[in-house]
């Protein structure tokens, strides 16, 4: 499973309407495009210009075949504000 | 980073839910708008409403790109698609959006060459493979999608492709939200901001909500727990009398956005002076068209699109639902004359449209969906 979200290339519905951002791991790079893989092993070609430079292994946020962001591997995924509730039950 | 399965951790969700309840004033009613259609979908699909106190009402916003497209723009797309020299390409849901005389699927059945694509780059490939045909891409979407159209046009220009053009219907998120805040119909307490749009534009563009209107905004991710946390962050702000822009989705959204994507958009697009939104009317500077440098790729110019205005069918109340004034099931034709199989209004087309989401998930008396379950 890639961090970020459950969304994969199998995503049902329209990528645009759902404002889908699909996290994909870079497998190989050729020029301005990369072969990328989702958490289910599906592969797709992704345009890299908007997030360059990119390295193999990085995780990109992709939308309609174009990378629009990078996932920071060390970013906390629960913001501190919300984290305060972790483990607390009432 | 921990595994993503925690985003659907039922226990954590219940803890956040309890925390929300503890900061909710039982004497008060709160109206929170989720701007993005993707959030509307998550809310219904995962039964988020059931995890919130009754005092918190979630109002669906205008953030579904096919839902806000006025009928005239659908008709104009269809008129381009019907031209014999054209291969017309568009995203999946666009095919079923009703125009005044049918939708693209029906026109395709009658013989027009209309192809569904996953990416505008697929349309570019089709143009390369069919040099004797005119390939038109029907571009829709907010700032999440506009960069991919911009990048595609930059590649087309670099390659000198002459048989490719774009019918541009990209819209921007901030002006309609401002229009809603100016509307006397609606009293909102805060906003759940769109996550992936913000990957591109960052969080700064929402500062007007707190500065000019005194409304807090929390930019949110799309997993069930993301939404719950965002509501909690909003409720804490409201409780403390704060109003700020906060970023719950910081694992993806940089505060400044994606500067390369913004630069690419700035080169390829310029703001239209005004654009019509379904239900919201004409909103100044709320949509994009191709810049003079890309005029050669503008399908509106290439095919002399006239820009006609077409009124919505009388029975349809999409406008009220888009503004959050009516709930989907309160529309007169909901579930009768208008269903996902035969949509009368655009909000019934994509599963992110408020009416379709409500029809598919909400209608069944809000059966509880276990948040830890795999859907
Ligand atoms: S039920 Fe159909 S016509 Fe009524 S608001 Fe929803 S989409 Fe529009």
Pocket residues: Cβ below 6 A from ligand 1: B 316-318, 321, 328, 331, 333-334, 338, 344-345, 347-348, 355
Residue found under tokens 């990119």: A54
Clarify whether residues B141 and B258 are in a common domain: yes
Residue A24, beta-bridge partner list: A60
Nearest CB to A66; choose among B2, B147, B254: B147
In a domain? residue B49: yes
Distance from CA of B6 to the nearest CA of A (A): 10
- Give CA–CA dist B216/B192, Å, rounded: 9
Hey, are the CB atoms on A76 and B144 less than 8 Å from each other?
A: no
Question: Residues with Cβ < 8 Å from B236, sequence gap 6 or more?
Answer: A81, B23, B242
CATH of the domain at B160: 3.40.50.11740
Q: Look at ligand 1, atom 6, and give the residue with the nearest C-alpha.
A: B355
pLDDT at residue number B84: 95
Clarify whether residues B189 and B293 are in a common domain: yes
Clarify whether residues B217 and B105 are in a common domain: yes
pLDDT, one tens digit per residue, over A7-26 is 666 655 555 655 678 888 99
Hey, are the CB atoms on B350 and A2 less than 8 Å from each other?
A: no
Clarify whether residues B198 and B340 are in a common domain: no
Distance from CA of B302 to the nearest CA of A (A): 25
Using the atom order of ligand 1, give the atom closest to the CA of residue B313.
3
Rounded to two decimals, the pTM is 0.86
Clarify whether residues B227 and B139 are in a common domain: yes
Clarify whether residues B298 and B178 are in a common domain: yes
Clarify whether residues B19 and B113 are in a common domain: yes
Percentage above 70 pLDDT, chain B: 93
In a domain? residue B213: yes
pLDDT, one tens digit per residue, over A25-80 is 999 999 999 999 988 888 889 999 999 999 999 999 999 899 999 987 666 555 44
Can you point out the beta strands (E) in B52-184? 56-63, 86-90, 114-116, 134-141, 164-170
In a domain? residue B338: yes
* Ligand 1 center to B338 CA (angstroms): 6
Interface test with A, best of B124, B142, B148 (most A CBs within 10 A): B148
The two three-digit tokens of residue B118, written as one number: 């996953």
pLDDT, one tens digit per residue, over B35-60 is 887 888 888 888 888 899 999 998 88
User: Mind listing the pLDDT tens digit of every residue in chain B (375 residues)?
Assistant: 344 455 566 788 888 899 999 999 999 999 999 888 788 888 888 888 889 999 999 888 877 787 788 889 999 999 999 999 999 999 888 888 888 888 999 999 999 999 999 899 999 999 999 999 999 999 999 999 999 999 999 999 999 999 999 999 999 999 988 988 888 777 889 999 998 899 999 999 999 999 999 999 999 988 888 899 999 999 999 999 999 999 998 888 999 999 999 999 999 999 999 999 887 788 999 999 999 999 999 999 999 887 778 877 777 888 788 777 788 888 888 888 888 888 888 788 777 778 888 888 765 443 344 444 433
pLDDT at residue number B145: 92
pLDDT at residue number B356: 84
Q: What is the DSSP letter of B355?
A: H
Instruction: Considering only CA atoms, give the Rg of chain B.
Output: 21
Q: What is the number of domains present in chain B? A: 2
* Ligand 1 center to B300 CA (angstroms): 29
Instruction: List the strands of the sheet with B114-116, edge to edge.
Output: B114-116, B86-90, B134-141, B164-170
Mutate to test the pocket of ligand 1, among B320, B327, B338, B341 (most ligand atoms within 8 A of CB): B338
Clarify whether residues B344 and B212 are in a common domain: no
How far is residue B126 CA from its own chain's centroid? 26
Where on the phi/psi map is residue B47: left (φ > 0), alpha (ψ -120 to 50), or beta?
left
Clarify whether residues B33 and B164 are in a common domain: yes
Which of the listed CATH numbers 2.30.30.140, 1.20.120.530, 3.40.390.30, 2.40.128.50 matches domain A15-83? Answer: 2.30.30.140
Q: What residue numbers bound the domain in which B328 lies?
A: 318-362
Domain ranges of chain A: 15-83
Mean pLDDT over all residues of chain B?
A: 87
ipTM for the whole predicted complex goes beyond 0.90: no
Residue found under tokens 């563009």: B205
Clarify whether residues B88 and B21 are in a common domain: yes
């Amino acid at each position: 499973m890639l961090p970020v979200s459950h969304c994969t290339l199998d995503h049902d519905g329209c990528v645009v309407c759902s404002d889908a951002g699909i996290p994909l791991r870079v497998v190989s790079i050729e020029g301005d495009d990369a072969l990328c893989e989702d958490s289910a092993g599906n592969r797709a070609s992704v345009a890299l210009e908007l997030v360059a430079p990119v390295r193999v292994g990085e995780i990109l946020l992709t939308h309609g075949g174009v990378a629009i962001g990078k996932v920071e591997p060390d970013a906390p995924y629960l913001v501190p504000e919300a984290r305060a509730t972790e483990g607390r039950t009432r | 980073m921990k595994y993503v399965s925690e985003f659907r951790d039922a226990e954590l969700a219940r803890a956040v839910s309890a925390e929300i309840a503890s900061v909710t004033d039982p004497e008060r009613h709160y109206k929170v708008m989720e701007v993005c259609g993707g959030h509307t979908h998550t809310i219904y699909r995962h039964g988020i409403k059931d995890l919130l106190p009754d005092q918190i009402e979630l109002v669906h916003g205008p953030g579904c790109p096919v839902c806000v497209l006025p009928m005239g723009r659908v008709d104009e797309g269809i008129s381009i698609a019907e031209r014999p020299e054209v291969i017309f390409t568009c995203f999946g849901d666009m095919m079923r959006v009703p125009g005044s005389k049918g939708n693209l699927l029906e026109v395709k059945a009658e013989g027009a060459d209309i192809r569904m694509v996953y990416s505008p780059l697929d349309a570019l490939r089709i143009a390369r493979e069919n040099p004797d045909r005119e390939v038109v891409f029907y571009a829709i979407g907010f700032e999440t999608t506009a960069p991919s159209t911009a990048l595609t046009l930059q590649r087309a220009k670099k390659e000198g492709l002459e048989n490719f053009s774009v019918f541009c219907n990209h819209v921007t998120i901030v002006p309609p939200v401002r229009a809603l805040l100016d509307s006397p119909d609606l009293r909102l307490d805060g906003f759940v901001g769109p996550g992936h749009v913000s990957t591109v534009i960052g969080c700064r563009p929402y500062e007007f909500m707190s500065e000019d209107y005194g409304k807090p905004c929390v930019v949110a991710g799309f997993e069930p727990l993301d939404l719950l946390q965002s509501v909690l962050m909003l409720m804490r702000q409201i409780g403390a009398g704060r109003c700020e822009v906060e970023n719950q989705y910081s694992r993806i959204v940089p505060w400044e956005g994606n500067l390369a994507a913004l630069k690419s958009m700035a080169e390829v697009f310029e703001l239209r002076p005004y654009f019509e939104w379904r239900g919201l009317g004409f909103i100044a500077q709320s949509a994009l068209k191709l810049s003079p440098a890309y005029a050669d790729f503008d399908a509106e110019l290439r095919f002399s699109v006239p820009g006609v205005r077409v009124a919505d069918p009388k029975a349809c109340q999409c406008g009220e639902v888009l503004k959050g004034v009516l709930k989907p099931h309160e529309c007169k034709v909901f579930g009768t004359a208008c269903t996902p199989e035969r949509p009368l209004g655009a909000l019934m087309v994509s599963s992110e449209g408020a009416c379709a989401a409500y029809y598919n998930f909400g209608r069944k008396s809000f059966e509880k969906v276990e948040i830890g379950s795999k859907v």
